[in-house]
């Protein structure tokens, strides 16, 4: 039987990159999936590519009213929710002395507050046995110049996986972090780094990750399928790190 047969799932930020690839794999494993994004064109394109098992819902994770609208739509379409992949996120890099309040707030609003209230808003739709996966990052235990705000947001997401796992265990809901390493997606083009730095990013990845290459979205999505499925039934509060060795070496 398919590993996610008849399961219902929400993937925030399911329009491109890791979220989109995860939607593909969830559907291939038998799930029905609501994907979200903030950009309407990318959302429609993704839904069309994924086919009839994917339902697009436009929702900005920074907006409580959009999240309430998402919850209403989940109730209407599915009745309940088995899997939540809180994946929407951005990473903006800048030297400490150029980081302004707007950059700081936007990163935390999307990556931390967005994840927190996505979980809170959808929680009452989740059954016993449900799985929540928070997309952190392999940077959650690291440090690097110009990454102060982004790295801090991902350390916070890792922390949330621990505390929410403790709090939701009595409801038999598992919460785990998933931490990708370097994966070529639209993410890199939004980092705010100059072209000369981005052009050399491959060299940085080779030096930083023992497997000396970028990961593929499919390799991260495979981890999300595992955490979503009953194969990981004894895992909660954990961090599944899929990063070519970057975090731990
Ligand atoms: N790529 C990497 O190397 C890497 C490494 C570690 C962790 N991650 C994490 O993986 C997650 C996905 O990133 P990705 O690499 O797949 O990048 P991506 O292709 O840029 O995907 C980001 C997704 O998040 C959505 N999103 C962004 N801001 C949003 C908002 N305010 N409300 C709702 N949706 C929003 C985007 O939708 P729109 O297009 O509509 O904005 C898009 O669907 C992020 O949390 C990122 O931090 C990525």
Is 248 contained in some domain?
no
Alpha-carbon distance of 168 to 196, in angstroms, equals 45
Tell me if 25 CB under 6 Å of ligand 1: no
Give the nearest ligand 1 atom to 39 CA. 40
**Nearest 5°: phi and psi at 203?**
-65, -40
Q: How far is CA 10 from the centre of its chain?
A: 11
**Probe target for ligand 1 pocket from 11, 18, 25, with the most ligand atoms within 8 Å of CB:** 18
Residues of the chain with confidence (pLDDT) below 50: none
**Nearest 5°: phi and psi at 215?**
-85, 165
Residue 135 token pair: 């997309």
The answer to whether the beta carbons of residues 228 and 83 sit under 8 Å apart is yes
pLDDT score of 175: 99
Total domains, the chain: 1
Q: Which of 150, 190, 204, 246 is catalytic?
A: 150
Alpha-carbon distance of 146 to 170, in angstroms, equals 40
pLDDT score of 235: 98
The answer to whether the beta carbons of residues 82 and 130 sit under 8 Å apart is yes
Q: In this predicted model, what pLDDT tens digit does every residue of 139-177 receive, in sequence order?
A: 999 999 999 999 999 999 999 999 999 999 999 999 999
Is 224 contained in some domain?
yes
pLDDT score of 33: 98
The single residue listed with the structure tokens 């491109």 is 16
Tell me if 244 CB under 6 Å of ligand 1: no
Given the DSSP bridges, would you call strands 81-86 and 54-58 parallel, antiparallel or unpaired?
unpaired
Helix (H, G, I), strand (E, B) or coil at 243: coil
Residue 193 token pair: 């780094």
Is 1 contained in some domain?
no
The answer to whether the beta carbons of residues 181 and 209 sit under 8 Å apart is yes
**Nearest 5°: phi and psi at 243?**
-145, 20
Is 247 contained in some domain?
no
Q: Which range marks the domain in which residue 226 is found?
A: 8-242
CATH number for the domain that contains residue 216: 3.40.50.720
Is 3 contained in some domain?
no
């Amino acid at each position: 039987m398919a590993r996610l047969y008849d399961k219902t799932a929400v993937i925030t930020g399911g329009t491109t990159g890791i979220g989109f690839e995860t939607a593909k794999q969830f559907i291939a494993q038998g799930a029905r999936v609501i994907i979200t994004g903030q950009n309407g064109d990318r959302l429609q394109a993704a839904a069309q590519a994924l086919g009839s098992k994917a339902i697009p819902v436009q929702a900005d994770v920074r907006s409580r009213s959009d999240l309430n609208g998402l919850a209403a739509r989940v109730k209407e379409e599915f009745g309940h929710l088995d899997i939540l992949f809180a994946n929407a996120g951005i990473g903006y890099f800048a030297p400490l002395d150029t980081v302004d309040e707007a950059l700081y707030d936007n990163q935390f609003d999307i990556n931390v507050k967005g994840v927190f209230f996505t979980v809170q808003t959808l929680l009452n739709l989740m059954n016993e046995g449900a799985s929540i996966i928070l997309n952190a990052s392999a940077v959650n235990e690291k440090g690097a110049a110009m990454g102060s705000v982004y790295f801090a947001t991902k350390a916070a997401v890792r922390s949330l996986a621990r505390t929410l796992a403790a709090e939701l265990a009595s409801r038999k809901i598992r919460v785990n972090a998933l931490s990708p390493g370097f994966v070529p997606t639209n993410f890199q083009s939004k980092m705010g780094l100059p072209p000369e730095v981005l052009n050399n990013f491959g060299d940085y990845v080779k030096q930083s990750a023992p497997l000396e290459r970028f990961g593929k979205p499919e390799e991260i999505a495979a981890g999300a399928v595992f955490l979503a499925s009953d194969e990981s039934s004894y895992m909660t509060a954990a961090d599944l790190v899929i990063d070519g060795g970057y975090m731990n070496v």
